[in-house]
Amino acid sequence: MSSKERPTLGGTRIKTRKRNIAAPLDPAAFADAVVQIYLDNAGDLELIARSIESSDLNFSRYGDTFFEVVFTGGRTQPGTTKPDEGDRHPYSIIECEAKRDVILPSVVYIQKILRRKPFLIKNLENVMRRFLQSLELFEENERKKLAIFTALAFSQKLSGLPPETVFQPLLKDNLVGKGLVLSFITDFFKEYLIDNSLDDLISILKRGKMEENLLEFFPPAKRTPEAFSEHFTKEGLLPLVEYNDKKIFEVKLKEMKSALTSQIAEEAGISEVIETVKQHVKDAKFPDIEVVRILWDVLMDAVQWSGKNQQQNANSALRQVKTWAKLLNTFCTSGKLELELIYKIQVQCYEDTKLMKLFPEIVKSLYDEDVLAEDTILHWCRKGTNPKGRQTFVKALEPFVKWLEEAEEEE
């Protein structure tokens, strides 16, 4: 070999790297194939499910298109609910009657498909989200069908469908402002509660992060508790109205407790605290009995308790009673409310070991401060109805009761 000749590798072929060539997307052909399955089986969903199971169609690639065919009968134009070119079938959810017994088979059918092809749940989410964000493009009757389908989907526990997929897309300002969302969600609530309890509905709302924000379904001008109550009472959903009223009550109760706790911790004047209570009572329309319970809870929560030192705990509790007696006296305006206060003290002393032995001293202190009348105390001893620790407390209060009875006889 000449020194100037280049060496060669005889018989060796240098391989070039092959490129992955993706097949072009063809959702139209896929949609036509699915439509044909519907037509071939005349809308029989059981037969359609079997045909889909045995087909070699690429569902992983065209999952969204599949659910467009299920819901609307054919492919929809990108970003809309309008029909696209191609074949269509008349057995879709949108084309059927707006009745639960007619729509339920479609829910069961989709459930079967998802069990065999669980990866399609994301495609179902995509399509439902798109349709719910475009409610204004559907006719009123079509929106009702979507609401019924959605309610049945949750009622049948459709595989993996998360509530936020349904509720969050609805909160578009234009949809809410037109009242479309309120109409949809009302149909959804009514349909869902046919087979499920209110607790089940609340659980779904919590998972969808809507339990605390039900008023967001209402147009801005109607976002008031009164409008909520009026609308859902008219629609026959009184349990939901009562639930919402209770939630509002609890929130306002918490606000009042927080305000009182802060004022007591800051050692605000009694007159200022009394005005705070009156304002909250006026705004929230709290029942008098509830006010008495709240006041006692707040006062006892503010006591600086000292571990196992019983005498120190007794002194702290009695000092608190004496300091805020005027506050209690302002709102214990009848024998019934005074009796409710005794019951409240009775239960707390029974359930809290550090207060167990303080019951007679607290009652006597409240009598001395003119919060409790002797008639109320005697009535509790003779006819009290709450059994918690009653025998123990009546016996502990005997000396004081005997003194009251003797004073009553002398008068």
Specify the pLDDT at position 22: 41
Mean pLDDT of 178-189: 96
Residue indicated by tokens 């088979």: 105
Residue 14 predicted with pLDDT over 80: no
Specify the pLDDT at position 150: 95
CB 147 within 8 A of CB 191: yes
Q: What is the pLDDT of residues 306-316, one digit of tens each?
A: 766 778 888 88
Least confident of 239-248, 338-347, 381-390: 381-390
Q: At what angle do helices 310-323 and 359-368 cross, to 10 degrees?
A: 30
Summary mean pLDDT of the chain = 88
In total, the chain counts a number of residues equal to 411
Contacts of 379 (CB under 8 A, 6+ apart): 335, 339
Q: What is the pLDDT of residues 315-360, one digit of tens each?
A: 888 899 999 999 999 999 999 999 999 999 999 999 988 888 889 9
Residue 10 predicted with pLDDT over 60: no
Residue 82 pLDDT grade (very low, low, confident, very high; cuts 50, 70, 90): low
Q: What is the pLDDT of residues 127-143, one digit of tens each?
A: 999 999 999 999 999 99
Question: How many Å apart are CA 215 and CA 217, to the nearest integer?
Answer: 5
Specify the pLDDT at position 23: 41
Contacts of 375 (CB under 8 A, 6+ apart): 335
Question: How many Å apart are CA 178 and CA 290, to the nearest integer?
Answer: 40
Q: What is the pLDDT of residues 274-295, one digit of tens each?
A: 999 999 999 888 999 999 999 9
The b-or-e profile of 295-330 (16+ CB within 10 A means b, else e) is bbebbbebbeeeeeeeeebbebbbebbeebbebbbb
Residue 83 pLDDT grade (very low, low, confident, very high; cuts 50, 70, 90): low
Specify the pLDDT at position 353: 81
Contacts of 55 (CB under 8 A, 6+ apart): 33, 37
Mean pLDDT of 2-13: 53
CB atoms < 10 A from the CB of 69, how many? Answer: 26
Residue 367 pLDDT grade (very low, low, confident, very high; cuts 50, 70, 90): very high
Least confident of 39-48, 72-81, 276-285: 72-81
Contacts of 336 (CB under 8 A, 6+ apart): 289
Residue 205 predicted with pLDDT over 70: yes
Q: What is the pLDDT of residues 98-115, one digit of tens each?
A: 999 999 999 999 999 999
Environment class of 20 (CB within 10 Å of its CB; exposed 0-12, middle 13-18, buried 19+): exposed
Question: How many Å apart are CA 309 and CA 344, to the nearest integer?
Answer: 23
| Percent with pLDDT over 90 in the chain | 67
Kindly report the CATH number that applies to the domain delimited by 246-409.
1.25.40.180
Residue 16 pLDDT grade (very low, low, confident, very high; cuts 50, 70, 90): very low
Specify the pLDDT at position 21: 39
Region of residue 96 (left: phi > 0; alpha: psi -120 to 50; beta: else): beta
Q: Which residues pair with 76 in a beta bridge?
A: 83
Specify the pLDDT at position 293: 93
Specify the pLDDT at position 31: 92
Specify the pLDDT at position 19: 45
Q: For the chain, which residues make up each domain, given as ranges?
A: 27-234, 246-409
Mean pLDDT of 152-171: 86
Residue 12 predicted with pLDDT over 60: no
**Range among 24-38, 215-229, 308-322, 374-388 with highest mean pLDDT value:** 215-229
Tell me, what DSSP letter sits at residue 75?
-
